[in-house]
Amino acid sequence: MKFLDLARVHIRSGSGGAGCASFRREKFIEYGGPDGGDGGCGGDVWAEAVEGLNTLIDFRYQQHFFAKNGQHGMGSQMTGKSGDDIVLRVPVGTEILEEDEETVVADLTEAGQRVLLAEGGNGGWGNLRFKSSTNRAPRNANPGHPGVERTLWLRLKLIADAGLVGLPNAGKSTFLAATSNARPKIADYPFTTLHPNLGVVGIDGREFVMADIPGLIEGASEGRGSGDRFLGHVERSRVLLHLIDGTSEDVASDARTVLTELAAYSPVLMDKPRVTALNKIDALDDETLAERKDALEAAIGGPVLTMSGFSGSGVQDVLRALWSRIAEGRAVDAPADTPEPWRP
């Protein structure tokens, strides 16, 4: 199934049915009076987050969603049938934006969450509603209210505990395949990963979800390469794993390039806890490894772990470092236990 994380949809709620202006006509009843029923309400348009979906590909083939109109009222005080609602089933983690692609309408982060996108129009009143002591035979009825029409954007942001970032060919896909059940494409050329991948990683009897996104290059924030369109998928993560190719001649410059692009995308990403790891150490001798690790630590101003996704060396240490930061984030987000009120 093709991955799609951005889709544009046109929605319209149903219009309310018109009220009916009619009079009761029955044999031997001379003054039957008004008996026009109300029109039915138009259908609503909802969005609901559901499990089992991880792409917006369904909205590539259908972009228009129109709810049913309410039926008109009828005589004998019969109210028209309300229009059926329509529900857009989206993956968990979907943001709904206005047409300007900036204003957030809703953020569906949990399965079962629903949001009303367009409310159906109310049905019009029949002439029975206008009957009074001074107006015994009203001949007027209200039309139904029109539905609401909107154009919206759906943007999927994967929900993962840890996010993998780095330059192309830094070994992100190899690391994800070695530590999880994911099977991303792996090859010896840049931009092997064309869309985000998710994997469940286990360490010391605990599990967390990791997301791998296509590599960043210099100028990604300006649209070069895949641009920064995939960075939204790691925006929800609790920690970032910054992988750097240890075989590169200038590891410090590589690290600064990625950090610059993260800062250009959003300060939120720069403020996230980050674990930096020098990858592919199986291809380096001890002297070169020590030299490049020192250069990298001086460039980022913090500690650097060493590992090899191919041989597995140092991978467990990296996973434990990620888990410690994930556990801290979960502890902060967990609701505080409120004690039971004391009763005598």
Give the residue ranges of the annotated binding site for GTP: 166-173, 191-195, 212-215, 279-282, 308-310
Sign of the alpha-carbon dihedral angle for 309, 312, 317, 323: positive
Summarize the annotated binding site for Mg(2+) as residue ranges.
173, 193
Q: Which two tokens stand for residue 80?
A: 């028209």
For residues 279 and 307, is the Cβ–Cβ distance under 8 A? yes
Residue 29 backbone dihedrals phi, psi, to 5 degrees = -115, 105
Is-contact 154 125, C-beta < 8 A? Answer: no
Distance between CA atoms of 234 and 161, rounded to whole angstroms?
A: 9
Cα–Cα distance measured from residue 157 to residue 107, given in angstroms and rounded to the nearest whole number: 10
Phi, psi dihedral angles at 103 (to 5 degrees): -75, 120
Give the DSSP letter of residue 174.
H
Judge contact between 90 and 53, C-beta under 8 A.
yes
Report H helices in the chain: 58-61, 172-179, 251-265, 267-271, 286-300, 315-333
**Cβ contacts of residue 172 below 8 Å, gap of 6+?**
164, 165, 166, 193, 212, 213, 215, 243
DSSP class of 235: T
Q: Identity (one letter) of the amino acid at 66?
A: F
Q: Are 118 and 67 in contact (CB under 8 A)?
A: yes
Residues at the binding site are: 166-173, 191-195, 212-215, 279-282, 308-310
